Amino acid sequence: MMESLADLEARVAAQAARLPAMYGKVDFSLAPERFAGAPEIRSTVRGETGEAHRRRLLADPGTVARARAYTMLGDNVADAYAALMPEYGFRRLVGMLTEACDKGVEQVAEAPPELVAFIRAMEATPDWIDMSLIEAGARFSRNASANLAPFVVRGAFVATFLNKYSALPMALTGTLSHETAVRRIKETASFFTTTALPGALGRFGAGFKAAAMVRLMHSMVRFNVLRGGKTWDVSVYGIPVPQVDQMPAGTIGVFLLAFKMLAQGRLSFTPGERAFVEFNRYRCWLLGLPEDLLPTTPQGIYDAMTVYSGTLRDGYDDATCGALVRATMAAYFPADRSLKSRIFNALERSFARVFFNRSFLRGDTTGKAALMGVALRPYDHAVFVALGLFIYGRQKFYKLALRTPGLAGWADRRLIRKLDRLLVDYGHAEYTTDASKYREARHRQAAE
């Protein structure tokens, strides 16, 4: 059942009293500049059809009020745990959370109440979760995770930097450097790859643990940014990394599926598609997204994404957005410098340029791609077509094998091995953020 608007707004306002060290200076009665709650404000929605749908949704005051509330909502339990950093230090917090995920929170010596509440909240599996369906959804997603994701993760990650209001926290963490950009990409890829493995989203699975670490990392970002200097202006940016900002990355696959279905006139999922949707919904729920933001129908999914995009004010700042894009696109991704790895990096980066331009700049004619340093080079299209044919062919092969008796088990085991190898290449995900990075970033900005 959807939380009432009054309860949601009360929960948002209560953050200041519940965690004064983090939210004590935040005025939750104000709508930040980033919130485009009126149709006349330009948002990140593009196209006449999208804009018309946005206007219909924003005509409902309740929808606008709910979207505004989610724009200012953090993560209650993870924030409380992250706020212990001055007392415990971030490494100890990470260590205790790791132990709680691996062994159970009751096994953590002198576990603070905030850690207990954090773990218990993640263990409180909602009634709508069917773990057999989740496993089927993970199995459904393994093909794309193993064969497509390695080639699109850079381009998809870069897309999160196109808006200055949502991108600034990443700039403050030092992601403007190539080294940090690589680490953030690999952490993101590692999370989504891990969750696709068998049993990963079970209580003691690797995906459950990865979700907890991602939540702590985001809460550490909020804590470090909000207690910092004057770089972060709440009246402009709202709170850093609100929970709703995770929805696009967490549900992009589901959104694209829903968009395709609506274009075809289909209103219900096939069994495989339903499993995929529920897998993504539960993964997002483990990340702390409320059920309200995880609809179950194609139209509901499309509407939720439109409301998010339609209430995020359009804004581009090259010093933030462009620098993040350039650092990410220039980063060397493979774990070694072998000839094979260097060739893969060059091809993957070329593929990512075209994917990014097609998917997120929509055939840019304004010169923004050149400004950001991702303008297409003469050979990029040829690389994209050649790699696309290879990737598409391999996915079709596995899709057919997974449907063929006698081959399905072999194909799934092979995909699992491919995912395991990818995780080795991605390396150990730290999922941490250090306050010193924010101080360094603030000093750099002050000097400019």
In this prediction, residue 206 has a pLDDT band, given cuts at 50, 70 and 90, of very high
Of the ranges 88-92, 234-238, 246-250, which one carries the lowest mean pLDDT score?
A: 246-250
In whole angstroms, how far apart are CA 135 and each of 127, 142, 200, 201, 277?
16, 11, 9, 8, 12
At 329 the pLDDT is 87
**Closest of 316, 313, 296, 293 to residue 305, by C-alpha:** 293
Count CA atoms closer than 13 A to 268's CA, side-chain side: 2
Residues facing 312 on adjacent strands: 35
pLDDT at 174 over 80: no
Q: Give per-residue burial for 182-221: e unless 16+ CB within 10 Å, then b.
A: bbbbbbbbbbbbbbbbeebbeeebbbbbbbbbbbbbbbbb
Lowest pLDDT segment from 8-17, 59-68, 90-99, 352-361? 352-361
- Angle among Cα 366, 370, 371 to the nearest 5 degrees reads 85
pLDDT band per the 50, 70, 90 thresholds, residue 432: very low
At 381, the amino acid letter reads H
Q: How far lies 72's CA from each of 11, 18, 76, in Å?
A: 10, 15, 12
**Residue percentage of the chain with pLDDT more than 70:** 92
Please give the full DSSP string across 341-373, using - where no structure is assigned: HHHHHHHHHHHHHHHHIIIIISS--SSHHHHHT
DSSP 116-129: HHHHHHHH---TT-
pLDDT in the model for residue 279? 97
The mean per-residue pLDDT over the stretch 181-186 comes to: 81
Residue 447 has pLDDT above 60, yes or no: no
The predicted pLDDT at position 436 comes to: 44
pLDDT > 90 in the chain, percent: 70
Is 90 exceeded by the pLDDT of residue 136?
yes
- Whole-angstrom distance, CA of residue 426 vs CA of residue 278: 26
Confidence of residue 445 (pLDDT cuts 50, 70, 90): very low
Task: Using the predicted structure, report yes or no on whether residue 153 has a pLDDT greater than 60.
Answer: yes
Among 350-364, 387-401, 419-433, name the most confident range. Answer: 387-401
Backbone Cα Rg of the chain: 21
In this predicted structure, the answer to whether residue 90 has a pLDDT above a threshold of 90 is: no
pLDDT in tens, 5-26: 999 999 999 999 999 999 999 9
pLDDT in tens, 31-44: 999 999 999 999 99
Helix (H, G, I), strand (E, B) or coil at 4: coil
Q: Is the pLDDT of residue 366 over 70?
A: no
Query: What average pLDDT does range 348-354 have in this prediction?
Result: 92
Spatial distance between the Cα atoms of 421 and 54, rounded to a whole number of angstroms: 42
Mean per-residue pLDDT for 85-96? 94
Q: Which of the four pLDDT bands, split at 50, 70 and 90, describes residue 363?
A: low
Higher pLDDT, 258 or 321: 258
C-alpha to C-alpha distance for 312 and 314, rounded to whole angstroms: 6
Q: Report the C-alpha gap between 399 and 394 in whole angstroms.
A: 9
The answer on pLDDT for 439 being more than 50 is: no
What whole-number distance in Å separates Cα of residue 190 and Cα of residue 417?
14
Q: Provide mean pLDDT across the span 302-312.
A: 96
Q: Cα dist. 295→12, 404, 415, 446 in Å?
A: 21, 32, 29, 43
**Is 175 a residue whose pLDDT tops 80?**
no
Which run of H or of E encompasses 246? none
Four-point Cα dihedral 153, 259, 305, 167, nearest 10:
30
Burial of 13 (0-12, 13-18, 19+ CB in 10 A): middle
Q: Token pair 């209580």 is at which residue?
A: 203
Residue 429 confidence class, pLDDT cut points 50, 70, 90: low
Q: What is the pLDDT of residue 440?
A: 45
